[in-house]
Amino acid sequence: MPASRTDAVLEAIRRAILTRELAPGQPLVEMELAQRLGVSKTPVREALKLLSGSGLVTFGLYKGAKVSVVDAEMARHVYDIRALLEPEAVRRAVLAGGPHLADAEAALTEADAALARGDRAELSMLNREFHCALYRGCGNPLLTKTLDDVRDLAALITVTGWEAAPSAKREQREHTAILRAAKAGRADRAAELLGKHITGFLDRLLAALG
């Protein structure tokens, strides 16, 4: 099966999860998804395996695949990684310079449009792209991969947080301030603002989850 077919199915399922079209905890039946997407079961099976690796899908023993459910423990674990690693990665990326800030600015502009449309799925993915663009030039491929590996879960947690305590406009303002510091070459300031951005969102989410 061509990789492009699996990629298209993966993106369709990812978007359905992030829009809640596929609800948290919902079983993911290969045949049903294949019929829905107009493909065979093979790309669906491969996409579910990939989404399991990124955390959006879980496989239970003898129970098949289902949409992952965000709880306080998951959020703490993912955001612990981000809070520990991402500010330092961004600090290094700003010091190194490079074209990554233009990508971050483009993602931020598109996110403004998605926010105006009320498209939470698109906004969560652009939010993810904004963060990735900021740390992409850190110069350490292993650090980049570690952060990339949690980005799907971060997007799912973000959507859950926006449902529990809407704060997307606030986070856009924080993104703007982070990008402004990065473009000015203020690496330590960008890292500081990013750290507060990450922990602030987690605090609001945990409070909303009780």
CA separation for the pair 28, 40 (Å, rounded): 15
* Structure token pair of residue 85: 């690693």
β partners of residue 65: 28, 59
Q: State pLDDT tens for residues 72-109.
A: 999 999 999 999 999 999 999 999 987 789 999 999 99
> Which H, E and C letters describe 37-97, residue by residue?
HCCCHHHHHHHHHHHHHHCCEEEECCCEEEECCCCHHHHHHHHHHHHHHHHHHHHHHHHHC
Q: State pLDDT tens for residues 123-175.
A: 888 999 999 999 999 999 999 999 999 999 998 998 888 888 788 899 999 99
Q: Which domains does the chain have, with CATH numbers?
A: 3-67 (1.10.10.10), 72-209 (1.20.120.530)
